[in-house]
Structure 1
């Protein structure tokens, strides 16, 4: 199978990127949106709101732009799978993570809406939490506001995250994507939040409960 490596700015011309790939390799059956960045720190310490907004551009606009570019061809063929790496941050709130949490929640909600509007067209939409590895940029480099690291409360969040959350392997993420791409049984969960730290066979065994009780969905619980 031919391999093609393209290094492009996704936001510059996503339609052209998809077109170039399809010209060389043929139609795209599976799109995996993998790139993302994080940002940790109090909003009031950001010297420029564009830093906060850049997280939304990379984590939300870029994958949605590629999805938008892939959909016409997938719709024409009546088949396709969209796999986007989301995060448990879409559902779990933590201090100093407004940029990252907002971006992952937006991705999850977008996939839920896309599943509804595209239902019956043969396209599955997955936004998954692939686990947490020590390779994440959360709390590292540009992923943290360096001025904020002087604050004890921020230091506690970074240390706690490093000690308790970064325990998964890269193999879990890789194997999760392959399983999702290959196993058609998972299409019943299109549009739903999938946490690959859970056992997927157990989820499949409980699919009726998940569907009937609207589980694994981003929603606001109201009185």
Structure 2
């Protein structure tokens, strides 16, 4: 039996790649899906695929960096589909490659703005209704540089680390009302974003490791993250709210280990135990 019947899911960046697969998986489990992105033709195609499988979805062209546009989109979602049960922030930008002094400041900041500010806007828009209903799950996608240095991807890495911390803060302020936030790292997926890294001169110069990883066979299928997020939406991993889950995780093994992860305070942005004692 489909586990998400009579629920509403919102997927940003849902016009292609990982986002499209997430939207499809949510719909296959019975959710009514709102698909958001800036490019109307792409999200309309995602909606058409969902409808072709018998699902219900709407396409809402939205710039997540525009607060007013985000709030307007969520009002439409509430009217046309109902209150949101699951929000998946999949939108992302990574166009500033190289050391800080080589990056165009506007391009660097635009990556941060789309990734981090966009996530803030959608979380802010959806939280009040979730809190009023006493239920809801928010999934924020993170990635390279979240928990480690990424010297030639500093804008992207900084934004993803910030999203991880935002996820923790949000979860800590909403979980008492049964609203949970999660971070998900989909892994290295061949997408429009990575293709640009592979083909651009700046990408070839500063991110040669991406091509090497693909040459070595590291190419995570987007369905891995989509199936994980489907399970999150169904409540399977509620114990791990506020923490980082990965597309490469074995979901059965993760379920068995999740209480140990919480006991060890793992999968979170933390100083070491020794450093914590000094603070």
Pairwise mapping of residues 142-181 of structure 1 onto structure 2 (< 5 A)?
146=200, 148=202, 151=205, 154=206, 156-164=208-216, 166-181=218-233
- Which of 259, 264, 271 is equivalent to 1:213? 264
Q: 2:146 touches 2:157 (CA, 8 Å); kept in 1? A: yes
Describe the shift of the 1:109–1:149 C-alpha distance in structure 2 as closer, same or farther (beyond 3 A): closer
Q: 1:41 touches 1:144 (CA, 8 Å); kept in 2? A: no
| Pair 1:45-2:97 in alignment | no
Q: 1:193 touches 1:218 (CA, 8 Å); kept in 2? A: no
TM-score when normalising by structure 1? 0.87
Gaps of 5+ in 2: 1-31, 33-55
Highest RCO, 1 vs 2 (Cα 8 Å, sep ≥ 6): 1
Which digits, 9 at most, give the CA deviation of each residue in 1:54-73, with x for residues without a partner? 11111111011011000111
Q: 2:187 touches 2:248 (CA, 8 Å); kept in 1? A: yes
Pairwise mapping of residues 1-223 of structure 1 onto structure 2 (< 5 A)?
2-12=56-66, 13=68, 14-39=70-95, 40-46=97-103, 48-138=104-194, 140-141=195-196, 146=200, 148=202, 151=205, 154=206, 156-164=208-216, 166-182=218-234, 184-221=235-272, 223=275
- Residue 203 of structure 1 deviates from its aligned partner by 2.1
Describe the shift of the 1:178–1:149 C-alpha distance in structure 2 as closer, same or farther (beyond 3 A): closer
TM-score when normalising by structure 2? 0.71
